[in-house]
Structure 1
Amino acid sequence: MARLIVSLSGLTDDSLPRGAAFAEALDARGVAVSQLYRPGAWDGRSDAPLVGWLHGRRERGDAIVLHGFDHTAGPARVGRRAEFAALPRHEAGLRLRAARRTLGAVDLRTDLFVPPRWIASAGTVEALREQGFTMYADESGVHRLDAPGAVRARVLGFRASGDRRPVADDARAAEAWRCRVLVAEVARVVRRGGVARINVRAKDLRKPARVEAALAAVDAALAAGAVPVTYRLAAARRAA
């Protein structure tokens, strides 16, 4: 049976109104959201509205997913490398502990992990398993850590790195093409009985065409019989 996962990443206090509107549109469709949250060094002031909103979303069935700790440049990030892309086990473990302490301080505990830019080093995976995480998802699939099992499914969205062919120079034509591709790829995955993973970033919510395309993809998946789940349930079935 086909499944549908919708995740939302990169929200801040500033982008929260757009994120809330998108989540409400999904509520109307009976779709819970996997909320990808990066706590950073939370000081009790920044992100306070967002944290309160995440508490409410959790009560409505959304999954809270740790999305790294601090994406800013530093020892864990070289150039454009993502935060957990190349960390050895020990360093990854330290950052995971810091992130979980920060989450615990605001009562947002989770055992689910999605690395920044969907890239996790082998050391990160080892550290996740040692610290009792039950799931992580990367670019190509959803992986269980508490038992054997993985689901092969590519994450879909509007990132330029996900484009499969050159796009037109005209920005509007390129944008329209990306929106069409998302809807078409989600429909294709669902027809094949797979897991359609749609990720929407806060920056995508600034573009009405992308919001409309994401909701159109959700509607197409539901109409084709896909069952909406969050990352908490996504890895329950082993891939063939």
Structure 2
Amino acid sequence: MLVSLSGLTDSDDADRARAAAFAAELDRRGVPLTHLVQPKGPDGPLRRGDDLVRWIAGRVRAGDDLLLHGFDHTSDPVGAWQNGTVPRIGRRTEFGALPRHEAGLRLTGARRILLATGLSTDGFAPPGWIASEGTLDALADLGFGLCADETTVRATGGPVLRSRVLTFRSSEPWRGERRAGERRRGRALEQQAVRTAERGGLVRLALRAKDLRREHRVETALAAVDAARGAGAVGAVHRTLFPAAAPAA
């Protein structure tokens, strides 16, 4: 079972406190957390010594995982490739339509910033969980070891594990049902986690920092973790799936 958290680069101190509390709950369950790190936010790049960087580094040293999560999540990637034939699909899918060269430039810049903070990884999770073929090619060119997208976790040039990531994204069919929709979404997420665990599959649960602002979502996520563990799932990190993709902090 893989549990991940994104969105902390754009977050405030309260978000980070909630993230620490959520990580502590996972610790009590023996489940590590994968940090999806966007190296550049609206206030500029992450820097060595930032509170967030130090917290993530400490968590990784204690057994958590780290994946690069895009560059700056800008909505309109620049480049001559964007001539009108390629759709602009937005900040949530920064790498969803990029050709190989443009993806390589962004990956290189993102990794440079991350390395300057003292963090590193050769694993990648695209924003919005969508990676173009050009992005996959660029990851291989740059020596990344794995890519975790919406439906797979794949080693570069190696095996592919098929598993759909479970999220609280508002694009689900019940988005307009408000409270009833939240309850239904929570039940569905927990049921999907249990079904995946029961058949011996890889459970992937992904939260964003803004999900932690809703107590019900935190409770639902932890209930899904508990239910999946009860059905046989064991907490893991990406680098244990493909040992070549190991972070350093």
TM-score over 0.5 for the alignment?
A: yes
- State the 1:11 CA deviation: 1.2
Structure 2: runs of 5+ lacking an equivalent:
79-86, 244-249
Quote the residue 1:151 is aligned against: 161
- The answer to whether the 8 Å contact 2:7/2:37 transfers is yes
Bigger shift: residues 107-116 or 72-81: 72-81
**Residue 212 of structure 2: which of 205, 210, 221 is its match?**
205
- The answer to whether the 8 Å contact 2:89/2:97 transfers is no
Which amino acid letter does the alignment assign opposite residue 44 of structure 1? Answer: R
Which amino acid letter does the alignment assign opposite residue 90 of structure 1? Answer: H
Structure 2 CA distance for aligned equivalents of residues 79 and 152 of structure 1: 24
- 1:212 to 1:92, Cα distance in 2 relative to 1, 3 A: same
Structure 1 CA distance for aligned equivalents of residues 23 and 112 of structure 2: 27
Which amino acid letter does the alignment assign opposite residue 45 of structure 2? Answer: W
- Partner deviation per Cα, 1:110-154 (whole Å, 9 max, x = no partner): 000000000111111111001110000111110000x42000000
RMSD: 1.9
- 1:103 to 1:169, Cα distance in 2 relative to 1, 3 A: closer
User: SS where residue 45 of structure 2 aligns?
Assistant: coil
- 1:169 to 1:36, Cα distance in 2 relative to 1, 3 A: closer
Structure 2 CA distance for aligned equivalents of residues 213 and 234 of structure 1: 26
Structure 2 CA distance for aligned equivalents of residues 50 and 168 of structure 1: 31
- Report matched runs for 1:52-63 at 5 Å: 52-63=54-65
- State the 1:52 CA deviation: 1.1
Structure 1 CA distance for aligned equivalents of residues 177 and 238 of structure 2: 36
Bigger shift: residues 48-57 or 225-234: 225-234
**Residue 42 of structure 1: which of 28, 38, 45 is its match?**
45
- 1:78 to 1:168, Cα distance in 2 relative to 1, 3 A: closer
Quote the residue 1:171 is aligned against: 178
Which amino acid letter does the alignment assign opposite residue 4 of structure 2? Answer: S
User: SS where residue 39 of structure 2 aligns?
Assistant: coil
Runs of 4+ off more than 3 Å: none
Matched, 1:5 2:2: yes
What is the aligned length?
A: 228
Quote the residue 1:133 is aligned against: 144
**Residue 78 of structure 1: which of 88, 108, 126 is its match?**
88
Structure 1: runs of 5+ lacking an equivalent:
none
- The answer to whether the 8 Å contact 1:151/1:235 transfers is no
TM-score by length of 2: 0.86
Structure 2 CA distance for aligned equivalents of residues 142 and 74 of structure 1: 26
Identity %, equivalent residues:
51
Quote the residue 2:82 is aligned against: none
User: SS where residue 109 of structure 2 aligns?
Assistant: helix
Quote the residue 2:201 is aligned against: 194
- State the 1:227 CA deviation: 1.6
